[in-house]
Structure 1
Amino acid sequence: MAEAKYDVLGIGNAIFDVLVKTDEKFLSDHGMTKGGMSLIDEARAASIYRDMGPATEMSGGSAANTIVGIAGFGARAAYVGKVKDDQIGRLYTHDIRAAGVAFDTSPASDGPATGCSYILVTDDGERTMNTYLGAAQELTADDIDADEVAGAKIVYLEGYLWDPKSAKEAFVKAATIAHGAGRQVALTLSDAFCVDRYRDEFLELMRKGTVDLVFANEAELHALYQTSDFDTALRQLRKDTKLGVVTRSEKGCIVASDDGVVAVPASAIDRLVDTTGAGDLFAAGFLVGLVRNAGYENAGRLGALAASEVIQHIGARPLASLKELAKKNGLPV
């Protein structure tokens, strides 16, 4: 197998995040389902933006957050996602490259604006997302560079990519190239509502071996198998995929494989501020552990550490050096 150029290459919806602290009343006034992700059009995006208070803005998108976390651990990271050649698109590109991520997807010259997600964070740290996909929907199979994909040890895909039709083709093309080069493919289920939309297709991707590793939180796992019994869902997950990782908030995570089930505790925190990006950063730590051959337990600990860093401040990007944090906690990076 050829030497890898990257440790992890992520493919996802390139979305510019606009985060704001708000209250339950704002959510109900705007007809939002707390804790979920809704796809919105440009007009609704404009009305939410008009009504919300001062915001924190940064480049985002689920897989992009994970890839930035991977770079933060000192691993070699690359990202594929579509922005428009507009002000926000240029800001997005600068932001992700400044985080140490290789990002070379050609921007769209026309069509919809760069995608944005309006993320409302309530006092309990819960985030409610309203996403305008915009240019992210313009990602196609042509944006997948075979050499770049084949040069990554792990290709990481987000479930949200299943919303835009052309991105599905890009997703499958990337998985095919990766497997052809002897690489691994990971998928995050992204959101319980996303699972409800595409349950059968996600199960098919797992059962056919299009993906090797699946990340899910408890809500996504229950949605996938339409059962409220955790153990039943976990047993099924072990049958359906080579490696399944289930995050359980303060209860830590479960790593399920043919070899058995490993439970890893959550990392302690001082205070919960914003859960945005918790799952994304967990995946970053876990994937770094995998590419470093650190074992499932250490991979889970790296994931828990990265998640604990990001939930103690606003935004889905780490503020501390994850590499230094890992060293301080005696974890391999």
Structure 2
Amino acid sequence: MTGKLVHTGQVVMDLVMRVDSVPEAGGDVLASTTTLLPGGGFNVMAAAARDGARVLYAGAHGSGRFGDQARAALRGEGITIAQPPTEDRDTGVCVVLVDDDGERTFVTGTGAEAGLPPDLLKTVEVTTEDVLYLSGYSLLHESNRAALLGWLPDVSVATVLFDPGPLVGEIPTDVLTPVLSRVDILSCNAREARELTGLADAVSAASSLTKRLGSGAAAIVRDGPAGCALARNGEARHIPGFPVTPVDTNGAGDTHCGVLAAALLDGADLASAARRANAAAAISVLRHGPATAPSGSEIEEFLTRR
């Protein structure tokens, strides 16, 4: 690999609680386990790094206890940190409820990661061999949004990978549209694709999404154990997945994006990269999360058995 993954999204701390079911409004349930782990953008970067990619975190991070824990985790994965800590604010926390079916529900409290100063991204060097990762969460925060929209037109990169995230419906249209025009690969899950297109079928949704992207751009719709749909240049296809019985789906989409980026950086074509990402996501849901991405050798071993 000659290029690197440049991640411009947010790292937060995930407070993960396993519950029998998510409580009704005004109700309460007892969690069987509670853990505090790095999450958010960390999951994507860890997945790429474990699959052999060089990774640079270009986002903001706080100066308190949570920021210290996030930075230690990033360095533990061999990820380079581009920015200094924000002095007057700590990193945010996301409460993650994981039920018995492995499904997850989020409540996010933002911190320093939501306040990226506009000028900081201009200090980040991006080359034509890199993959630049954008998160839809960045477009919900005024400071991050301004930084990205002011920086993207000046960046010449091989691939811009965009994951709009579960709050895609809250991104203003006048913000989302210009970002989509700069995207080379859009990757979202089936629920997000349905919100963007109104289509339940993953292949049809992927095909529809390409019409909102620039010329030659691709759309990937992640569809859980079914795999993913891939559309590009007027052609759409299904990339089969690897059905498993999940214990925790938290971070599976992040694993998919991170391994997809690593495979592209390693020279794989998009369809092959998507299949490898499907395998990595299948492995990740067999572990309690959020950062459950496998190593490159684990992915290889998994694929040889299929």
Tell whether the structures are fold-level matches, with TM greater than 0.5.
yes
Aligned to 1:40: none
Q: 2:18 aligns to what?
A: 21
Structure 2 match to 1:222: 194
Equivalent residue, structure 2, for 1:44: none
- 3-state SS, counterpart of residue 117 of structure 1: strand
Structure 2 alignment gaps of length 5 or more: none
Q: 1:75 to 1:319 in 2, by over 3 A?
A: closer
2:288 alignment partner, one of 314, 320, 324? 314
Amino acid in the other structure paired with 2:84: S
2:252 counterpart residue number: 278
Structure 2 residue aligned with 1:299, among 261, 270, 273? 273
Change over 3 Å in CA distance of 1:185–1:249 after alignment to 2: same
CA contact (8 A) 1:206 1:212 kept: no
Residue 72 of structure 1 is matched in structure 2 by 50
Does residue 243 (structure 1) correspond to residue 218 (structure 2)? The answer is yes
Contact 1:13 1:161 in 2 (8 A): yes
Q: Partners in 1 of 2:129 and 2:250 — Cα distance?
A: 27
Give yes or no for the alignment of 1:95 onto 2:68: no
> In proportion to residue count, which structure has more helix?
1
Tell me what 1:265 maps to.
240
Is the 1:290–1:299 Cα contact (8 Å) retained in structure 2? yes
Structure 1 residues 225-252: Cα deviation after superposition (integer angstroms, max 9, x where no partner): 2344656533321222211111111111
What amino acid sits opposite 2:119 in the alignment? D
**Residues 284 and 319 (structure 1 numbering): CA distance in 2 closer, same or farther, change over 3 Å?**
closer
Aligned length: 301
Residues 81 and 106 from structure 1, CA distance in 2 versus in 1: closer, same or farther, beyond 3 angstroms? same
SS of the equivalent of 2:132 reads strand
Alignment deviations for residues 127-148 of structure 1 (CA, whole Å, 9 cap, x no partner): 0111001212221222214443
Secondary structure at the aligned position of 1:24 is classed as coil
Partners in 2 of 1:27 and 1:316 — Cα distance? 24
For 1:231 and 1:326, the matched residues in 2 are separated by: 25
Moved over 6 A (4+): none
RMSD: 2.5
**Counterpart-to-counterpart distance in 2, 1:170 and 1:210:** 15
Amino acid at match of 1:77: V
Question: Structure 1: how far apart are the matches of 2:103 and 2:293?
Answer: 19
Distance 1:263 1:149, change over 3 A: same
Provide closer, same or farther for how the CA distance between residues 188 and 30 of structure 1 changes in structure 2, counting only shifts above 3 A.
farther
Aligned pairs (5 A) from 1:150-161: 150=127, 153-161=130-138
Matched residue of 2:286: which SS?
coil
Q: Partner of 1:45 in structure 2? A: none
- More deviation, 154-163/194-203: 194-203
Deviation string, structure 1 residues 15-68 (Cα, Å, up to 9, x no partner): 11111101335354369xxxxxxxxxxxxxxxx9xx86641221111x321111
Question: What are the residue-to-residue correspondences of 1:40-51 with 2, within 5 Å?
Answer: none
Partner of 1:56: 35
In the other structure, the counterpart of 1:114 is 91
1:144-164 superposed Cα distances (whole Å, 9 cap, x missing partner): 144433476110011111111
User: Partners in 2 of 1:311 and 1:250 — Cα distance?
Assistant: 10
Given that 1:285 and 1:305 are in contact with CA atoms closer than 8 Å, whether structure 2 keeps it comes out as no
Residue deviations 1:156-194 (CA, integer Å, cap 9, x gap): 011111111010022224422332xx4321110111xx1
Instruction: Decide whether aligned partners of structure 1 residues 302 and 160 sit closer, same or farther in structure 2, where only a CA change above 3 A counts.
Output: same
Cα distance per residue 1:78-122 (max 9 Å; x no partner): 1122222111111110111101111132111114x3200010101
Distance in 2, matches of 1:231 and 1:260, equals 10
Q: Distance in 2 between matches of 1:132 and 1:151?
A: 35
Query: Contact between 2:95 and 2:107, CA under 8 Å: does it hold in 1?
Result: yes
Q: Do the aligned partners of 1:149 and 1:177 also contact (CA within 8 Å) in 2?
A: no
Q: Which runs of 5+ in 1 are unaligned?
A: 32-47
Q: How does 1:27-38 map to 2 (within 5 A)?
A: 28-29=25-26
User: Partners of 2:175 and 2:188 in 1: how far apart?
Assistant: 12
Distance 1:64 1:148, change over 3 A: farther
Give the Å deviation of 1:309.
1.7
